[in-house]
A and B are shown apart, each in its own frame.
Chain A
Amino acid sequence: MNIREIITILLSSRVGKIGVVFFILLVVVSLYVVMAYPMDFGPRSWNNPTVWADNPKNVSPAWTNIFSQTKQVAHTNFKATEPNQVTIGTNETTFFYTSKLSYDYDEFPTFTSFTIDNITYHSQPPIITLAIARPDGREILLYRHVVLGPSPSETMPISRYTETPHRVYLSGDNTVLFNITDYLRGEFDLDIAVPKLRGIIDKVIFGTPGGEGQDFSVLQGKYNIITTARTYHPDDSIGEVSFVLGGSVYGFMGTDATGRDLAVGLLFGFPIALLIGLTTAILTTIIGTSMGIVSGYTGGKTDTIIQRFCDILANVPLLPILIFLAFIIGQKLWLVVLILILFGWPGLAILVRSMVLHSSSTQLVEATRALGASRWRIMFRHVFFQIAPFILAQMIFFTPAAILAEAGLSFLGLGDPSLPTWGQILESGFSTGAVYAGYWWWVLPPGLLVVLAAMTFVLLALGIEPVVNPKLRQ
């Protein structure tokens, strides 16, 4: 039976078709990730909290807005690298960065933050301000920052905020708090005690006070976020300014407790799952098949020794051993794959041996032997090709087992920290109590993806069953 026939049979059944579609999906997403993500994604981005600092924590996906009665704030990052306006004075130049924000949400943002990076100056340190112009014509000066001046040992030009950007968490900043107090006093003639104001900075910015004893109400409309940078030398430069409107929904898959974009992590899990599944399955099959054929065809003492050995290895309870070895030797992905192969091949070798015993007594093999074919030739040219479809089906069946084993191990907190997997995302959700807090977007999708990946191969195996078992062919 050649490959084309196998594919025809596979595509003739419904389960086979679904399996093929899922498989193509897995491969395409994996290829995309391999090309788009850096190799050191785990340590550099995923496990690096500064990358995710600007994201809201524990928020649901943006599309949940469809089901929500009130319109929740979508997380938005207003970044600017080039000023939209420059005014040149006698001895200073002012850059203006203006972003438009149309605020049509029914809720207040969860937080706001402001970041500046890569500033270079040649004489006097630049002054940065952030103000917000509201739809009702009022303007609030939120923040004013003078870049740190030169220390005696430094020489011009001086670069600031190159390694780590200067980040202000506006919702909890003291200077913002005093600016807000001034604004309320001047515009609304309101005196709110500073400690009381501390938690409601964002409400003041995006709302109007509701009078005596009442809460702030959302002010919808067009806002302008205005950042200015006053510089004192023509060569001074500002890298990037950004204002973050912290949402209560984020992206396609929401975020976890450190603000990580779950969609990014889940995507990275695709190639890893395929890698684990396919590597384990292919190597297990190669070792298991060769040992099975050798054992069955050679017979005698070799056969007995191999079979006793297989009997023992195939009966070792896998998960306890995996837990033990991962705990003692280290949390490495290759170790997991190695153990899965080590304890996986004997089961196949036992099965292959019994099939070989059957097929090596056929007349075809007998005739080949009579023609003087060598032992190896018979084993791998004739015996192997008779049982090849069965082995293919077995190989497909090993794949989900490996994916599930890795996910389970990761779920126990023994995953490889340098390679984020679906199991690890689930584990971090489970160990921080996301299950009991009802953060379904954090714990359900990774599990669902494990199921999807594993099921793809089960469907393929079911679709290919008629190849192995001719009775099932229509």
Chain B
Amino acid sequence: MSPLITKLAARFLTLFGVLLVVLLLVVITLGATGFSDRMLHATLNEDLRGLRQTLAQTIRDPIELEQTLEIRRQELTSFYSLDKPWQSRLPETVWRVLTFDLGESRSLRSFEGSSQVIDIVSERLLNTILLITSASVITAILGLIIGPRLASRVGSRLDRLSSLFLAFSYALPSWWVGIFLIIILAFNFDIFPAGGMFSLPPPEGGIFRFLDMLWHATLPIISMVLVSVGAWAYTVRAMLINTAQEPFVTVGRAKGLSKRLVERRYILRVAAPPIITSLTLGLTASLGGAILVETVFNWPGMGRLYYDAILAADESVIVALTFIYTLMYIAARFTLEILYLILDPRIRYA
């Protein structure tokens, strides 16, 4: 087997392990605290209530009705395994979640009115991905532009100033930046909308709709980029400086290659894999940041759904979101791993 496949398989196994750990943590917590019992009892009672109404039309005798319902209750109890301890339901529950059988929400509904958790989450998934991806891409591009400039002027005033900005931006919570921007740009100057994804009513026509969304997405994206770009540019700078001290770069310069060529082919290309690694490490932070930024800007994504689910105490939605977020993180991680392998030839030919 080629080393590339082995390496990828190992990474995939680790990430799958992450998913399993999260799932087990969630399921065991729900079981041990009695939450899953309560959730199942609620479903069971809901089923019985529906049945009682249907049966009441055919069975007139109240005693007979109660008896039929009692039999049904026992059937359902063993069907949901409520007569056994929660541990015995564990494998089944994990399997249900893994196959996206996420149950029904208590009070939250999808935009179309469905109470199936999978419907509620899936229609918001795209909005979240849209926000996170555009913010990450913008951050990455800005970092790749600013980083090399800082690296070529180490110790200059600009460099020192930007290291201070880094310290500041690392300490800056994106959601608070969002609130700040709302107060200044939406409340005081009324340039941008304070929240939501579209104006009400949304403008007609594809291009206007798109522009309207862009206008609504500007502030959330700015808040996310602002807090992550400093650290990122600084990482790029550090990697470039380290690589620039390698002997082969000196050789390249000694050969009389142009400065741009040395920068691009000798420094940036070699520094690319570690830069990807650091991007990977920052991923959890930006995922968490996105949850909070969506909440602040009332962006109809999964992060805002988290907030709504907390307010509505809708546990099945919270469980589903925890699972989907982990899944999304793993997918993003795996994509970056592949990118890393493409960029680092040492692993391919080892």
Bound form: Cα–Cα A324–B97 in Å: 15
Chain B residues within an 8 Å CB radius of A324? 26, 29, 318-319, 322
Residue interface mask A409-441, B partner, CB < 8 A = 1: 001111000000000001000100001101010
Bound form: Cα–Cα A293–B260 in Å: 43
Question: Of B35, B164, B329, which contacts A328 at CB under 8 A?
Answer: B35
Bound form: Cα–Cα A468–B78 in Å: 62
Q: Could you tell me if B171 and A451 are in contact, using CB atoms closer than 8 angstroms?
A: yes
Chain B residues within an 8 Å CB radius of A318? 284, 288
Chain B residues within an 8 Å CB radius of A328? 29-30, 33, 35, 315, 318
Chain B residues within an 8 Å CB radius of A444? 179-180, 183
Q: Could you tell me if A329 and B29 are in contact, using CB atoms closer than 8 angstroms?
A: yes
Bound form: Cα–Cα A231–B292 in Å: 60
Q: Could you tell me if A443 and B14 are in contact, using CB atoms closer than 8 angstroms?
A: no
Question: Of A327, A411, A447, A455, which contacts B167 at CB under 8 A?
Answer: A455
Bound form: Cα–Cα A199–B187 in Å: 29
Identify which of A46-54, A79-87, A183-191, A308-316 touches chain B: A308-316
Bound form: Cα–Cα A315–B12 in Å: 12
Bound form: Cα–Cα A323–B320 in Å: 12
Tell me the minimal C-beta distance from A79 to chain B in angstroms.
36
* Interface residue? B326 (CB, 8 A): yes
Residue interface mask B309-343, A partner, CB < 8 A = 1: 01100010011011001100100010000000000
Bound form: Cα–Cα A426–B183 in Å: 14
Q: Could you tell me if B173 and A450 are in contact, using CB atoms closer than 8 angstroms?
A: yes
Q: Could you tell me if B29 and A454 are in contact, using CB atoms closer than 8 angstroms?
A: no
Residue interface mask A336-377, B partner, CB < 8 A = 1: 000000000000000000000000000000000000000000
Tell me the minimal C-beta distance from B340 to chain A in angstroms.
15
Q: Could you tell me if B183 and A316 are in contact, using CB atoms closer than 8 angstroms?
A: no
Interface residue count for B (Cβ, 8 Å)? 49
Question: Of B167, B182, B287, B325, which contacts A459 at CB under 8 A?
Answer: B167
Tell me the minimal C-beta distance from B237 to chain A in angstroms.
13
* Interface residue? A269 (CB, 8 A): no
Q: Could you tell me if A408 and B175 are in contact, using CB atoms closer than 8 angstroms?
A: yes
Instruction: Using CB atoms, name the residue of chain B closest to A457.
Output: B171
Q: Say yes or no: A438-B288 contact (C-beta < 8 A), given A308-B14, A320-B326, A451-B173.
A: no
**Interface residue SS majority, chain B:** helix
Chain A residues within an 8 Å CB radius of B180? 444, 447
Q: Could you tell me if A317 and B310 are in contact, using CB atoms closer than 8 angstroms?
A: no
Q: Could you tell me if B17 and A15 are in contact, using CB atoms closer than 8 angstroms?
A: no
Tell me the minimal C-beta distance from A22 to chain B in angstroms.
11
* Interface residue? A319 (CB, 8 A): yes
Chain B residues within an 8 Å CB radius of A74? none
Chain A residues within an 8 Å CB radius of B194? 435-436
Q: Could you tell me if A426 and B14 are in contact, using CB atoms closer than 8 angstroms?
A: no
Bound form: Cα–Cα A329–B35 in Å: 10
Instruction: Using CB atoms, name the residue of chain B closest to A455.
Output: B171
Bound form: Cα–Cα A443–B325 in Å: 28
Instruction: Among B172, B176, B182, B287, find the residue whose CB has the most chain A CB atoms closer than 10 A.
Output: B176
Instruction: Using CB atoms, name the residue of chain A closest to B330.
Output: A315
Question: Of A321, A329, A435, A440, which contacts B22 at CB under 8 A?
Answer: A321
Chain B residues within an 8 Å CB radius of A426? 176, 179
Q: Say yes or no: A408-B322 contact (C-beta < 8 A), given A321-B25, A328-B29, A443-B183.
A: no
Tell me the minimal C-beta distance from B113 to chain A in angstroms.
25
Instruction: Using CB atoms, name the residue of chain A closest to B328.
Output: A317
Extra A-B contacts (14), CB below 8 Å, given A313-B21, A320-B326, A454-B172: A315-B329, A317-B288, A320-B321, A324-B29, A327-B310, A404-B171, A405-B288, A411-B292, A412-B291, A436-B187, A436-B194, A451-B173, A454-B170, A455-B168
Give the 4 A-B residue pairs with the shortest CB-CB distance, closest first: A319-B288, A454-B171, A447-B176, A455-B171
